Amino acid sequence: MADLLEDSGTPPSLEEYYSSADSEAELDMDALHALPLGIVPFHTSGLKRARMIKNVHLESVVELFKDESSGSGQVKINQLHSIFDWSDEESNEDQSIIQKLGEMNSYDVYTLRISLRQLGIPVNENENLKLSESKNKELGKYMAEFTRPLLQQVYGNADANVENLDQLIGMFKSPDQAKALENLRKLAKSLKMEIAEIPEFLEDYGDIFMSLAYFKECVDKIIPNVSIFLDDIKEFKDNFQLKSERNLINTCDYLDERLTDVTTSLAGRFESFEQHSQDMWHDINPDSFHQVKDMIASHHATLGGVLCGLAVKMARWQEKFGDGRGGPVQRSEFVMSEMRAGIEVIEKIEESAPNFSQYQAGR
């Protein structure tokens, strides 16, 4: 078994991105790179206590244990049969599920909701596929920009003393039935909807824009580290010992070009999300909302995949070389052995993102 376990693939510092979670399981559900396998109804008990993660090569591996003294015990998917006694029909079902999970590009909750359904993989409870309460609170500042147009639509310039979507929803569950009905009628009129459509609209609105807030927060945390990494590797060209290493310099040029293209494309996607969201409020109705909702949802899997890949790579670099740690030679070796591998995967995922042109007609 020892020969099958690896302890060099997962970057512990990734968890700094999600440090607000109340427990390890919640922390995993807030993350892009980790999936607690306990939410999947496996027959193999050992899998229920493990998690699937992306290593620095962006390969999916099963992490059986992790602690400060023992490190991270990782097993490749095609070697799990050597760990577990998989010799019956139930084991074949587990192997099929784990193989499908390994093909996913990200394990964030929004990608999981879509991908698990498409793959026909059940979960123990749908309640597991949600962000932690602490993460939801952390995303409040991002959600504010998405709730503001809704509040403006209902209350105009008046001071409604409503700061977020939860408070707004609470106004329609008020003990004061007359006031609650008045609020429902006002919102329905503003949105050109029937009163019966409002509860589902509010639920959908909160969920879809919470997903956008989640991915936007990921971008804001990850992209600065991409810039730091690109600045770090540019220094190789000025290093007397390394500047003549043609393979290294070519690799750095490749990484600079590819990562710049990917991050530029990401920025463009979020600009389009913002523009379409603003346009929606010019003539808000069920159709215009669902068009924007479907547009954002169609990008979940590719956003998750790209951001997961970037998060794993950049967190690993920061873990080893942040704050000036490591000399030029050590850094260059790590670039060639670890950072280069898998970049084309990130690039291909970004290139596969849905085209916004199909949504132009609704603008």
Percent of the chain at pLDDT > 70 equals 86
How far apart, in whole angstroms, are the C-alpha atoms of residue 50 and residue 224?
31
- CB atoms inside a 10 Å sphere around CB 76: 17
What token pair was written down for 186?
């006002």
- Which range has the top average pLDDT, 159-173, 254-268, 284-298? 254-268
Contact 75, 4 (CB under 8 A): yes
- Residue 9: band (very low, low, confident or very high) from pLDDT cuts 50, 70, 90: very low
The residue type of 38 is: G
CA distance 210 to 205: 8
Sheet of 51-54, strands arranged across: 34-36, 51-54, 60-67, 71-76
> Quick one: 126 and 204 in the same domain?
no
Strand partners, 73: 65
Q: Is residue 7 part of a domain?
A: no
103 pLDDT higher than 80: yes
Q: Whole-number mean pLDDT of the chain?
A: 85
**164: CB partners within 8 A, 6+ apart:** 140, 143, 144, 147
Give the model confidence (pLDDT) of 55-91 as tens digits. 999 999 999 888 777 777 889 999 998 888 887 777 8
Same domain, 217 and 350: yes
Residue type, 100: K
Nearest to 328 by CA among 228, 193, 235: 235
Closest CA to 300 of 277, 280, 273, 320: 273
| Residues 233 and 309 grouped into a single domain | yes
Q: Give yes or no: residues 100 and 231 share one domain.
A: no
Report pTM: 0.86
Same domain, 208 and 354: yes
Give the residue from 111, 130, 149 where a domain finishes. 130
Q: Would you tell me how many other CB atoms lie within 10 Å of the CB of residue 321?
A: 18
Tokens of 77: 């998917």
Q: Cα-Cα-Cα-Cα dihedral of 54, 354, 283, 160, to 10°?
A: 10
Cα-flanking dihedrals φ and ψ of residue 282, to 5°? Answer: -70, -30
Measured in whole angstroms, the distance separating CA 132 from the mean position of its chain's CA atoms is: 14
Q: What is the 3-state secondary structure (H, E, C) of the chain?
A: CCCCCECCCCCHHHHHHHCCCCCHHHHHHHCCCEEEHHHCCCCCHHHHCCEEEECCCCCEEEEEEEECCCEEEEEEHHHHHHCCCCCCHHHHHHHHHHHHHHCCCCCCHHHHHHHHHHHCCCCCCHHHCCCCHHHHHHCHHHHHHHHHHHHHHHHCCCCCCCCCHHHHHHHCCCCCHHHHHHHHHHHHHHHCCCHHHHHHHHHHHHHHHHHHHHHHHHHHHHHHHHHHHHHHHHHHHHCCCCCCCHHHHHHHHHHHHHHHHHHHHHHHHHHHHHHHHHHHHHHCCHHHHHHHHHHHHHCHHHHHHHHHHHHHHHHHHHHHHHHHCCCHHHHHHHHHHHHCCCHHHHHHHHHCCCCHHHHHHHC
Residue 341 binned pLDDT confidence (cut-offs 50, 70, 90): very high
Looking at residue 155, its pLDDT comes to: 67
**Rounded to an integer, what distance in angstroms lies between the CA atom of residue 215 and that of residue 4?**
34
Measured N-to-C along each axis, helices 140-155 and 246-280 cross at an angle, to the nearest 10 degrees, of 20
How many domains does the chain divide into?
Answer: 2
Q: Residue 270 domain-assigned? A: yes
Same-domain status, 220 and 351: yes
Average of per-residue pLDDT across 278-301: 91
pLDDT score, position 157:
52
The pLDDT score that the predictor gives to residue 160 is 57
pLDDT tens per residue, range 245-256: 999 999 999 999
**Band of the pLDDT at 156, cuts 50, 70, 90?**
low
Question: How confident is the model over 327-343, as a mean pLDDT?
Answer: 96
* Confidence tier at 314 by pLDDT (50, 70, 90): very high
> Does 112 lie in the same domain as 260?
no
Query: Is residue 1 over pLDDT 70?
Result: no
In a domain, 171, yes or no: no
Same domain (yes/no): 205, 322: yes
- Residue 153 in any domain: the answer is no
The tokens for 324 are: 């000036």
Asked if 249 and 237 count as a contact pair (C-beta separation under 8 A), the reply is yes
Which range has highest mean pLDDT (41-45, 161-165, 253-257)? 253-257
Instruction: State whether 350 and 211 are in the same domain.
Output: yes
How confident is the model at residue 363, as a pLDDT? Answer: 46
Determine the structural domain holding residue 316 and report its residue range: 197-362
Whether 28 and 105 map to the same domain: the answer is yes
21: pLDDT strictly greater than 70? no
- pLDDT above 90 covers what percent of the chain? 50
Same-domain pairing of 76 and 208: no
In a domain, 140, yes or no: no
Q: What is the mean pLDDT of residues 262-267?
A: 96
Instruction: Say how far residue 75 (Cα) sits from the centre of its chain.
Output: 23
pLDDT at site 362:
45
